[in-house]
Amino acid sequence: MYKNKIPKASVYRLAIYLRGLEKLKINKKIYVSSPEVGKFCGIDPAQVRKDLSYFGQFGEVGKGYHIKSLVTNLKKILKLHHKKWKMSLAGVGNLGAALLSYKGFENVGFIIQVAFDKDCKKIGRVFSGVKIYDFKKMKEIIRKENIRIGIIAVPAEFAQEVAEIMISSGVKSILNFAPVILNLPSKIIVSNVDLSNELLSLPYFISK
């Protein structure tokens, strides 16, 4: 079946297509072609067809992709269709607090269930509806809540240690905001969020 040899980058792009299609759906379009998806998402149409072909035949000859069906299928493939995914946040500094109040996670099926900090002024308080616990209780609480996704928003020097505790508690994938490369077992999926990536292409357009 399709579980073997699918490049990680194809899976990441499925998420990009999903976001793009959801925007197209708002415009009341029914069908869309791979060049249209490609243009909308900034990805080569041949790449779009190749990525989708790993998971099945979604296009209809002469019509293209039925947007609503493709959205449903992509959500199923990405395991986004049936439940809210619980997340655990480590670090409630400025960035952590911003993430707690960020509405975008819940819109796509994710929720920060618990948060951890070492600052005793924060421990026991509730930020944006989420209770802050002592770092020392991380292992126990993540296990009890059966949480599989961790968000790291601690300073760079603590990120590795925190990631290891998360993994030993059952976390399978990590969204890492700390500007450091984590050294973790290859079965753990790490998404590094680098806020400066988006900036790098702007001067090109300014200078034109």
Q: Which residues bind a copy of itself (CB under 8 A)?
A: 3, 7-9, 11-12, 14-16, 18-19, 42-44, 47, 50, 77-80, 85, 93-95, 97-99, 101-105, 107-108, 110, 148-149, 172-173, 175, 179, 189, 191, 193-208
Q: Find the helix or strand (DSSP H, E) in which 10 lies.
A: helix 8-26
Q: Least separation, in Å, of the C-beta of 151 and a copy of itself? A: 9
Nearer to a copy of itself, 101 or 136 (CB): 101
**Alpha-carbon distances, residue 13 vs 46, 57, 138, 187, 208 (angstroms):** 13, 17, 32, 20, 29
Helix axes 45-53, 8-26, angle to 10 degrees: 110
Nearer to a copy of itself, 60 or 119 (CB): 119
Q: Least separation, in Å, of the C-beta of 114 and a copy of itself? A: 17
Nearer to a copy of itself, 47 or 160 (CB): 47
CA angle, residues 45, 46, 47, in degrees to nearest 5: 90
Q: How far apart are CA 173 and CA 3, in angstroms?
A: 18
Q: Least separation, in Å, of the C-beta of 62 and a copy of itself? A: 27
Q: Least separation, in Å, of the C-beta of 115 and a copy of itself? A: 13
In the block, which residue shows the tokens 């209770």?
A: 131
